[in-house]
Structure 1
Amino acid sequence: MSDAKYFQTTKRGEIHELKEELHQTDKAKQKEAVKKVIAAMTVGKDVSMLFPDVCNCMQTPNIELKKLVYLYLINYAKSQPDLAIMAVNTFVKDASDSNPLIRALSVRTMGCIRVEQITEYLTTPLAKALKDEDPYVRKTACMCVCKLHDISPELVRDQGFLDILSDLVSDPNPMVVANAVAALLEIQERQGGEALPLGGGGLQKMLVALNECSEWGQVFILDALSAYPCKDEKEAEGVIERVTPRLSHVNAAVVLSSVKVVMRLIPFITNPEAHKSVLKKLAPPLVTLLSSEPEIQYVALRNILLICQKRPTILASDIKVFFCKYNDPTYVKMEKVDVIVMLCSDKNVDQVLLELKEYASAEVDVDIVRKSVRAIGRCALKIEAAAQRCVSVLLELIQTKVAYVVQEAIVVIKDTFRKYPNRFESAIGALCENLDSLEDSEAKASLIWIVGQYAERIDNAQELLESFVEEFAQADNEVQLQLLTATVKLFLKKPDSAQALVKHVLGLATTGSANPDLRDRGYIYWRLLSSDPEKAKVVVLSEHGGVAYDSEKLDSNLLDTLLGQLSTLASILHIPPSSFVTDTRISVPPSSSSPLKPQADTSGGGGG
């Protein structure tokens, strides 16, 4: 019968029956009883009153029974700390058992029992386990040091466990090396220590273990290597050479961790040819990740956005790989569009515009359509030589008369006008024709801005603004503020015809609105216009700074921080770990603590 039978009992007097069964001399029946206790515990029943009875079952050579008892102890030790101490003698005894599996199980369980009273009893068996002849016991003990440090950091330091962990980085067994590195990394993050102490050939031992340990062990070692401060260019080249084969690993986590190491050490390479050669090796593994499951693609794309912002030349010739497939999930398509814009350049802008236009006109997902239209606008802001072509594509999309396409295009063209003033006035007529289809507040505000900014060139500018004024009270704050400013601009440019309109709008803003921002701006404009209209022109009609494509890029310090967190949650959210995890330390690039000055970015880094 399957283990499901243990979850099917709801009898009264069950606890009493379990107590009797736990004291059976027959070990098979005793094991059955413990399984029933664990099942009851799993479904939320309180079986803590059986603590002494379950502890009596610890004295057994049966590993399966011992594991079950230890599982119970871990769960209830925190609520029964005094009783948990009763089990200490058995733990200590098991830590000296002839079976390495039992020795490791004992140390692991003691580390999982988060009761401060037990920690002092753990030190002796843990110290012994760290020097055990069996590598399985040693690797288990490494993680136990990490758990003990979380409970009592002072005890770990006083007992010299950190020094032992550092020595174990040079252990001949790769599993032990990986766990020692993992434990040291965790402790380092908690206490904010400096780079891992890798004396006595620890670096070389890690590089050797990299080829022999499990894939998750490789991730820990690669994380440690990414934080290692290389002494000179030769050492950095050596590390990169040993890490490069991991770029073709089947596990995406290993690939991204390897990319992180290479990205961190590239600044140490001063030879231009070697620098270019290393960068060239990063493209194939990143492209390969896009053949994985959608979830892995998403993680890869979020990381690629960071990599491309720092080193845009890496994937410059692979832009087609990021074109959306019909069966891509929406969240993957959204990221691909961002990468396409990041990689867009003078050489491929026509190809990019054709692709984005296809998404904007043929895609059924509204979010992708909006994203694509905005992407066309970002291309215009990024590449001045292609701005006219981008605006032409946007005007073609407006002719489709699809409401959400038109609205998004108007918002985008407004930003293009701000970036390149007085260059695309010929598009204004096409924009104003779509006044009736505007429902989105941002689109309305954008068209109002365009009308106010170019009022002297639009014959029916006053009529257009009056149509918006009719719905002033129901409009969003964004629209009201923009309408107020546009009306004042119209008055300053056409004072004779717009006087009545500006008085009406100023009155609505100052007396008919509960929004303090709108009222304050209304009073400021009113006083400016009544006291000195010429000064009002200087203030209201002055040229403002244009929209910059760079405004969408991450701050350089944040970017460096996130590049040090590749393949982690921070690299997906694009925010530093400190903003969502407390008591953690952000790793510092090795170049910041290295005596070697990193080479300047020769790949056009920092731009996208």
Structure 2
Amino acid sequence: MTDSKYFTTTKKGEIFELKAELNSDKKEKKKEAVKKVIASMTVGKDVSALFPDVVNCMQTDNLELKKLDEDPYVRKTAAVCVAKLHDINAQLVEDQGFLDLLKDLLSDSNPMVVPMLLHAISEIMDAPLMLAAGVRDDSGTIISFLAALNDVGSGIYSGIQSQLTPKDGEGGSRVFVRESAPRLGPMLNSRLWWLLLLSRVVMKLMEMLDTSGDYVSSLVKKLAPPLVTLLSAEPEIQYVALRNINLIVQKRSDILKNEMKVFFVKYNDPIYVKLEKLDIMIRLTSQSNIAQVLAELKEYATEVDVDFVRKSVRAIGRCAIKVEPAAERCVSTLLDLIQTKVNYVVQEAIVVIKDIFRKYPNKYESIIATLCENLDTLDEPEARASMIWIIGEYAERIDNADELLESFLEGFQDENTQVQLQLLTAIVKLFLKRPTDTQELVQQVLSLSTQDSDNPDLRDRGYIYWRLLSTDPAAAKEVVLAEKPLISEETDLIEPTLLDELICHISSLASVYHKPPNAFVEGRGGQRRVLPAKSQQEGTVEEMSAPTETTQQPPQPTTVIPGADSLIGDLLDIDLGPGPSMMQQQMYPQQPPVQTQASGGGGGMDIFGEGLDNLLGGGPSGGDMLGGLGDIFGMPQSQSYIPPQEVWLPAPKGKGMEITGTFARKNNQINMELTFTNKAMQPMTGFAIQFNKNSFGLMPAQVLNIRSPLPPNQSASTSLPLNTTGPIQKMEPLTLLQVAIKNNIDVFYLSTQVPLHVLFAEDGEMEKKIFLATWKDIPASNEVQYTINNDQHSADTVSQKLRNNNVFTIAKRNVEGQDMLYQSLKLTNGIWVLAELKIQPSNPTFVLSLKSRAVDVYEAVRQVYVNILHN
């Protein structure tokens, strides 16, 4: 009898009958029941309810049933089942030894089984694949896995291959590198849709192999043709491929060094493809191919697409900077383009020629006359600023430099800030080179920059120049005419640490955006970060302490600081939002600077005489007409203690962004003083800041105002006002503040400690009667004494120093030659602290006694006394 009978049954209750037969004691009935189940599955019937009963039939000596267990689909499905079972009952999986059984199957020869096994093990152990599998250098698991790669579906592979490349120290790395290199080569030629996925692995493999070995040269040769083939696809795919190729070329330009022609622009390419090709062309340009590249770029500069033409002209300048032997040829090409008299071509050419002058000083000055012929056509800020820079830099070689700069000065107030700053510097350069006939011109520009301008950057630079020229002309020459650092083509490259991260994400959105995943993906477990508490001495990670109760106290209610078991994740779900679209400029008061006595012995020489003095309506001639910087800007000199700035985020951890900072309290306002330094090779934009919950509810009172973009090797400072209206969470230590700062590169996390005195309120002076009653009311057990070194301060000096920081002396007594100061202070959250300070001139130490109902603040208050009295 044939097996066709199994496919014809349609009676009711069939599932129930099959369940009984599968659990029968008779082997023949079990065998028949399994056949019926398979037949039902074949015709599309739902027999999922029989799964546990079928599994129970697997332990058998029947040959027919054993064959049904032989299908690799069963083992593949079993791996998935174990992973799902682990989610439901992890203890059961561990007790039954299922994980060990999966590891035993890693040597399976079927290509469908091994990847799924590894994936299941990785999910169960929550570890990278190689580490999760527990493989060793002598294991055959890696070889088995690599053998299966060609038959793995793209969905499975893309899900696991990001963990595939082993890192230093992981088991199996040497076997992986040795075995995978020759196997990946054929795969690159077999399936184009694998290409970008495999490129990621190949790039990581190259870092682990000897660059002089045959493996690397073989991989390089086999990787280039498939990448080139992708450029024959439709434009959208071309764009994705080009963005990935851009990263590969920046990391290893030798891979495509012989494929320049495939990146030449076609007439029907969309603009986004054209621009990407252009960028890659520059990265591949070398002395061997510069001739054909320049010919292409010159042709592009005659097209009708204005944006593409501009980029092409700039590309010629980048070629000149990158390939020094071809610089003269590039300059000649630019001059040819200038002769076309096409406005936007001329302006872009002048911009890039300025960079060429920076790269090759005193080499191509002969073309300046040609550039000056086009002054009247310049209407774009960048081009005007570039031309002004050229005139100022070579003012001694241009006979009518003063007339040219004066022509720009006529509409000074209407110029872009970039042009104003450049014009100010250029005229000062001209004055230092030709002081006899340009004094009136420099007086005019300094007056326009300082008296008639509301731009703080322009005013700052103007006052700095004014002070330099007024007090020390020699120093002014050293500063203004100093030798400038040479520029290089590498400034357009992605910062190395970011590039390494993006290489690990080739074939993902990160490689298209050229941004790390956490810059545009939220809620990913893999991107979650934990902010460790920062130890005051060692900077080690500390666990958050348990809650400590605080109670209310007179004369005003005390804010209770709630405790917390952990702050992990508080900063992980924040929405920093975009940074300010443009810097909100803070205006300095427009008032003439106060005249003070000139600094330096022998009297400083006023190179301007009384003419410049009269411009400011200032004092006697020969004096320092700028006075103190604080007086210039109308800033009150603060007497409160401001700690020196510390490095809060070093550049290596900030991917090139270094942050230093401190805290200050001025005019009843808490401020976070920040300095951002860009040590990366790309501009930084989009700055924003947010705080974690903290003990005193500190939070920014306004958006973070930083000059944007912040160019490489530049710094910018800001004062960020803070308020205490944010969410409260008790920290350990109490003054710990956790901060998240965002820019266009990433979100960075840092921890610092807020000096407690910036939280001392101005209304913390207690009446004597209330002070006495409160001191008696607080239990004696709450009193703590500290010893502080005495830097030979008198009681009056100590009292004044502390009062400047809102620690108020309520009463003073002298007992047997020892001064006793009774003081009060109040935190912004309403907590009062009472103090008794014993000062004896002959004793090298102070004795400080503190009483409060919130004993948690004692250590921070003690540190305040130490800092204030020792500074």
2:448 paired with 1:511: no
Letter in 2 for 1:300: A
Q: Which residue of 1 aligns with 2:111?
A: 174
| More displaced 10-residue stretch of structure 1: 213-222 or 335-344 | 213-222
Alignment of 1:235-254 (within 5 A): 235-252=176-193, 254=194
SS at the partner of 1:524? helix
Shift in Å at residue 98 of structure 1?
6.6
Which range moved further: 400-409 or 569-578?
569-578
Name the structure 2 match of 1:225.
164
More deviation, 392-401/154-163: 154-163
Distance in 1, matches of 2:92 and 2:235, equals: 45
Matches within 5 A, 1:28-427: 93=49, 96=52, 170-171=107-108, 173-182=110-119, 195-197=131-133, 199=135, 201-220=140-159, 222-227=161-166, 231=172, 235-252=176-193, 254-266=194-206, 267-269=208-210, 272-362=213-303, 364-427=304-367
CA contact (8 A) 1:510 1:523 kept: yes
Does the 8 A contact of 1:185 with 1:224 survive in 2?
no
Q: Compute the displacement of 1:416 (Å).
A: 0.7
- Is the contact made by 2:392 and 2:429 (CA closer than 8 Å) also made in structure 1? yes
| Match in the other structure for 1:584 | 526
| Preserved contact between residue 181 and residue 220 of structure 1 (Cα < 8 Å) | no
What is the CA-CA distance between 1:214 and the residue it aligns to?
2.3
* Residues 294-353 of structure 1, C-alpha deviations (whole Å, 9 max, x = no match): 222222222222222222222111111111111111111111111111111111111111
Gap change, CA 1:249 and 1:292, over 3 Å in 2:
farther
Change (3 A) 1:65 1:417: same
Cα offset, 1:97, TM superposition: 8.0
| Maintained 8 Å contact 1:182/1:221 | yes
Deviations 1:394-429 (A, max 9, x none): 111112222221121111111111111111111212
Identify the residue that residue 582 of structure 2 maps to in structure 1: none
Equivalent-residue separation in structure 2 for 1:371 and 1:150 (angstroms): 54
Match of 1:533 among 470, 473, 487: 473
State how far apart, in whole Å, the 1-side matches of 2:121 and 2:511 are. Answer: 22
Counterpart of 1:450?
A: 390
Tell whether the 8 Å contact from 1:226 to 1:564 is kept in structure 2 after alignment: no
Q: Structure 2 counterpart of 1:307, which letter?
A: I
CA 1:234 to 1:206, structure 2 compared with 1: closer, same or farther past 3 Å? closer
Quick one: distance in 1 between partners of 2:84 and 2:431? 71
| Distance in 2 (alpha carbons) for counterparts of 1:286 and 1:436 | 47
SS of 1:317's partner is coil
Change (3 A) 1:325 1:551: same
TM-score normalised over the length of structure 2? 0.49
Asked if 2 retains the 8 angstrom alpha-carbon contact of 1:419 and 1:546, the reply is yes
User: Which structure features the higher share of helix residues?
Assistant: 1
Q: Is the 8 A contact 2:338 2:346 kept in 1?
A: yes
Correspondent of 2:515 among 550, 561, 575:
575
User: Does the 8 Å CA contact 2:385/2:419 hold for their aligned counterparts?
Assistant: yes
Shift of 1:483: 1.0
Contact 2:385 2:418 in 1 (8 A): yes
* Deviation larger for 150-159 or 462-471: 150-159
Query: In the alignment, is the contact (CA less than 8 A) between 1:455 and 1:493 conserved in 2?
Result: yes
1:473 alignment counterpart: 413
Counterpart secondary structure, 2:133: coil
Q: Which of 275-284 and 367-376 deviates more?
A: 275-284
* Residues in 2 aligned to 1:296 and 1:212: alpha-carbon distance in whole angstroms: 24
1:294/1:332 contact within 8 Å kept: yes
Q: Which amino acid aligns with 1:523?
A: Y
**Residue 159 to residue 97, structure 1, CA distance change in 2 (3 Å):** closer
Letter of the structure 1 residue corresponding to residue 114 of structure 2: V
**8 Å CA contact retained: 2:230, 2:238:** yes
Residue 496 of structure 2 corresponds to which residue in structure 1?
A: 556
**Aligned partners of 1:381 and 1:548 also within 8 Å:** yes
- C-alpha change, 1:187 and 1:62, in structure 2 (3 Å) is closer
Tell me the CA shift for residue 201 of structure 1.
3.4
Query: How many angstroms apart in 2 are the aligned matches of 1:427 and 1:205?
Result: 66
TM-score normalized by the length of structure 1:
0.69
Deviation larger for 567-576 or 496-505: 567-576
- Percent identity (aligned): 55
- SS of structure 2 residue aligned to 1:468: helix
Distance 1:479 1:449 in 2: 9
Q: Provide closer, same or farther for how the CA distance between residues 543 and 268 of structure 1 changes in structure 2, counting only shifts above 3 A.
A: same
Pairwise CA distance, 1:498: 1.6
Using the TM superposition, give the Cα deviation of residue 140 of structure 1 relative to its aligned residue in structure 2, in angstroms. Answer: 6.3
Which residue identity lines up with residue 318 of structure 1 in the other structure? Answer: E
How many Å separate the matches in 1 of 2:223 and 2:496? 21
Corresponding residue for residue 18 of structure 1? none
Deviation at 1:270, TM superposition (A): 6.0
Could you list the per-position Cα deviations for residues 62-91 of structure 1 after superposition, in whole angstroms to 9, with x for gaps in the alignment?
Answer: 999999xxxxxxxxxxxxxxxxxxxxxx99
Higher relative contact order (CA 8 A, sep 6+): 1
State the alpha-carbon separation in 1 of the partners of residues 388 and 86 from structure 2.
Answer: 61
SS in 2 for 1:256: helix
1:484·1:522 contact (CA, 8 Å) conserved in 2? yes
Secondary structure of 1:208's counterpart equals: helix
Is the 2:121–2:129 contact (alpha carbons within 8 Å) kept by the matching residues of 1?
no
* Counterpart AA for 2:443: K
Give the gaps of 5 or more residues in structure 1.
Answer: 1-60, 68-89, 100-131, 587-608
Alpha-carbon distance in 2 for matches of 1:164, 1:576: 38
Quick check: which has more Rg, 1 or 2? 2
Q: Matches of 1:208 and 1:449 in 2, distance apart?
A: 62
Q: Does 1:546 align with 2:486?
A: yes
Name the amino acid aligned to 1:317.
N
Structure number having the greater strand percentage: 2
- Out of 436, 441, 456, the residue aligned to residue 501 of structure 1 is 441
Check if 1:428 corresponds to 2:371.
Answer: no
Give the root-mean-square deviation of aligned CA atoms.
Answer: 3.6
Amino acid across the alignment from 1:530: S
Query: Taking structure 1 as reference, are residues 62 and 554 closer, same or farther at Cα in structure 2, changes over 3 Å only?
Result: same
Q: Amino acid of the residue matched to residue 526 of structure 2?
A: T
Which digits, 9 at most, give the CA deviation of each residue in 1:257-290, with x for residues without a partner?
Answer: 2222222222323653443233222211111111
